[in-house]
Structure 1
């Protein structure tokens, strides 16, 4: 009993004596149980040494940092000339240089070939000019007996070969005369006789012979054939991979019908309109006029008509009429419900949703709508106000054809824009409202045709084929 009492007394005394140096706390732990905590200062250490923080997490982080340092060291070493890097770069440069030199050689060969073609054409033109001069300088011998004064006029010889005999007399004068610079009035030979006056009246009634092939130009029937393409110019830069070029079939002042217009359509802000005095200046690449359009152009669907450029404003269904004389926007109108900017393009793409065309009957637009579900819709437009006068919905899907053009109120579509030998595969007649498949040969000479448009004055198709501006002659049947 006494030993236990002694221990308790000594413990109490030690607690009382150590109250200045020790402390205790009492509180519940996480499980709710009461927990006593005692704190005793160290008799030998003034301060605690810094504890290691982080534990396993810090060690893992250090390991990952070390691994990253190793990887960065390796990458830095390779970037500064690691094994094989210099030789690989040198080989790549040599390969690129070889490819570039090969392409340059091909372009030079193509340039030389084109120069030879131009020289050959110039030589042929010179030969034709000389032959023309030679034919003009030859005397035209009379095919009929000379007409005597006061002699009765014979019917034969006046109308022979459509009046050629009488015209020969008028041109050649009195048998051996060689003056071809002008047609002289031959009345001085025959005095003022009544017989000569009758002959003169008869000659006036004889119609002048028509040029070869002019009979077809008065017709506006179905498309019968398309000639081989004729190249006029190649674009100068990558901006001309796609484009549109045209001539105004009903040109007005201040520009004539020989003026050629061109737009390179690669880019986000296409606004430059280049004008060339004629085809010869186009082939030489010398524009006489460069106009900056007030609003940018969308794709290759522009056209020229009656002194105005008609085009689609970029990223919209808005049609614009740009007047060349005033160099300003003369009319604008939204095309109702038309898809735009890639909703219903031709099969080659290029945001060709809206395609403006011109033919013998006026201004047209080829497009599609959500209601038509992608089928081609063709509408006749008022060229002044751009208002839709009438529309037709066809049965052919717009994205299934490469391009389209309009001739004599008939819509024609192309099957492919890359195949060198493709076809005009569909025709829709707005006069009857009926469409029919067809197969008319068409050649994509440079294998990427991004634009086809018709010029009714020239009876030609203008196309933009992989940097090249080409044209085709067309033959139409009788109405």
Structure 2
């Protein structure tokens, strides 16, 4: 303090007069924030009317504005931190302690609801599977039952009905063949390997890969017949572009193959071995020898072609049409188990196999075709496995292309399928109740 006063006195001695000092000097005395006394002595410049850099006031104003804003922000921040029990803190609690648990609870409820829906759907699926199994068993039992044989009385012949009649559903309407329509052409083979062969549709397809619209074809001319052509439907067959070609595990012989319940059944080349080829897995499912059956030209149809064993399917299941040495060339009919190919029951007819051109099964009855070359021939014989009786009939049948090497019946389509000299054709059939005395 004494230093400041001394300096003040020395300054006073250097001034020219008191009046001039009043114009040019100012002495101030005041207390600071701490309560201490301060003397401030201000002298005006004799030469400069104003200080250089006097434009600092706008800059200082800007700084003050920014400081004011900063202070306001700091105050709000401090208020948010210190006011943990205040409104800001309440917001944190609402989100952290109340909002989050509420969202979590909602997600948990939705998860539980989805779990309940899943369990309910699983229960429905199991119930549908159970019902499907029951229906499959019922259908299988219906297939195993023989068709109802209807007899007439008093010599009255009942009115014939078309195959499209609803009474002709599977297991119903198994009546006698009355007539065969004209052949309808679907495709002509375009090479020598297609002179004769097998073509058909599965009347009872299994699985999801193939339907009863899928068409199957095998050209049986050649030394090693193994190719099985699959067409999506009749239109694709007519265009000639298969959707798939399978290679059979064993070579096939002749035109006696058939299609039934998702499998191709055929005779192995130069043997009496029967083969079931599963279409879904594309693998050999069963193979067995047909007891005592003739093969490779021992008991063929009249047109030859090593047609010793002819497989067929109808409303009552899977059949084999063949002959044995014991039967001396007469046609033997055996009903086969579709899975194992084991013979379930056999019948011996009184017509020789080499005297007929072809044969097929319909409603548990064997029908034979008299000629494979005559343009106008007949279905000349029928044998009923239900009664064990056979006899002559005369149902007109046309070989339009003069070399019919295959005739097979499809009970789902109610048509005959035939391969007539490169031509793949179908025939509509008409069934009806037989008159008195008919087989």
Identify whether the pair has TM-score above 0.5, normalized to the shorter chain.
yes
Tell me: higher relative CO, structure 1 or 2? Use CA pairs within 8 A at least 6 residues apart.
2
CA distance in 2, matches of 1:324, 1:289: 11
Deviation at 1:236, TM superposition (A): 1.3
User: Quick one: which of 195, 216, 219 aligns to 1:241?
Assistant: 195
- 1:376 is matched with 331
1:216, distance to aligned residue in structure 2 (A): 4.6
Q: What is the CA distance between 1:213 and its match in structure 2? A: 3.4
* Alpha-carbon separation, structure 1, partners of 2:268 and 2:354: 21
SS at match of 1:390: strand
Task: Measure, in 2, the Cα distance between the counterparts of 1:239 and 1:394.
Answer: 34
Q: 2:204 matched to 1:229?
A: no
- Write out per-residue CA displacement over residues 287-317 of structure 1, whole angstroms, 9 at most, x where no aligned residue: 0010000110000000000100000000000
1:212–1:226 distance in 2 versus 1, CA, 3 Å? closer
Q: Distance in 2 between matches of 1:470 and 1:424?
A: 17
What is the SS of the residue equivalent to 1:281?
helix
1:325 and 2:294 matched: no
Aligned 1:174-323 pairs, distance under 5 A: 213-217=165-169, 218-253=172-207, 254-323=209-278
Q: Give the CA deviation at 1:212.
A: 6.5
Larger strand share, 1 or 2: 2
The superposition leaves residues 374-405 of structure 1 with CA deviations (integer Å, 9 ceiling, x where unpaired) of: 00000000000000000000000000000000
Q: Could you give the per-residue CA deviations for residues 437-464 of structure 1, whole angstroms, max 9, x where no partner exists?
A: 0111000010000000000000000000
The whole-number CA distance in structure 2 between the counterparts of 1:311 and 1:438 is 29
Using the alignment, how far apart are the partners of 1:412 and 1:322 within structure 2? 26
Deviations 1:105-136 (A, max 9, x none): xxxxxxxxxxxxxxxxxxxxxxxxxxxxxxxx
Distance 1:215 1:241 in 2: 38
TM-score by length of 1: 0.55
TM-score (norm 2): 0.60
Map 1:297-446 onto structure 2 (within 5 A): 297-446=252-401
Whether 1:455 aligns to 2:410 is: yes
Equivalent pair of 2:178/2:432 in contact (CA under 8 Å)? yes
Deviation at 1:211, TM superposition (A): 11
Contact 1:419 1:444 (C-alpha < 8 Å) held by counterparts: yes
* Partner Cα separation in structure 2 for residue 414 and residue 300 of structure 1: 15
Structure 1 pair 211–342 and aligned structure 2 pair: CA distance change class (3 A) = closer
Aligned-residue CA RMSD (Å): 1.4
Displacement of 1:214 after TM fit?
Answer: 3.2
Q: Is the 8 A contact 2:163 2:414 kept in 1?
A: no
Distance change >3 Å, CA 284–CA 389, structure 1 → 2: same
8 Å Cα contact 2:264/2:278 also seen in 1 = yes
Q: Please, which runs of 5 or more residues in structure 1 have no aligned partner?
A: 1-209
* Secondary structure, counterpart of 2:228 in structure 1: strand
Q: Shift of residue 220 of structure 1?
A: 0.8
Instruction: Say if 1:216 and 1:476, in contact at 8 Å, map to a contact too.
Output: no
> 2:235 aligns to what SS in structure 1?
helix
Residues in 1 aligned to 2:260 and 2:285: alpha-carbon distance in whole angstroms: 13
**Paired residues of 2:163 and 2:429 also in contact (CA < 8 A):** no
- Superposition deviation, residue 252 in structure 1: 1.2
| Higher Cα Rg, which structure | 2
Q: Distance in 2 between matches of 1:222 and 1:478?
A: 6
Partner Cα distance (1:233, 1:457) in 2: 21
Which whole-Å CA distance do the structure 1 matches of 2:349 and 2:398 have between them?
25
Tell me if structure 2 keeps the 8 A contact 1:219–1:478: no
Is the CA contact (8 Å cut-off) linking 1:392 and 1:433 kept in structure 2?
Answer: yes
Asked whether the equivalents of residues 404 and 452 of structure 1 are also in contact (C-alpha less than 8 Å), the reply is yes
Offset from partner CA, 1:336-382 (integer Å, 9 cap, x none):
00000000000000000000000000000000000000000000000
- Partner residue of 1:475 out of 427, 430, 436: 430
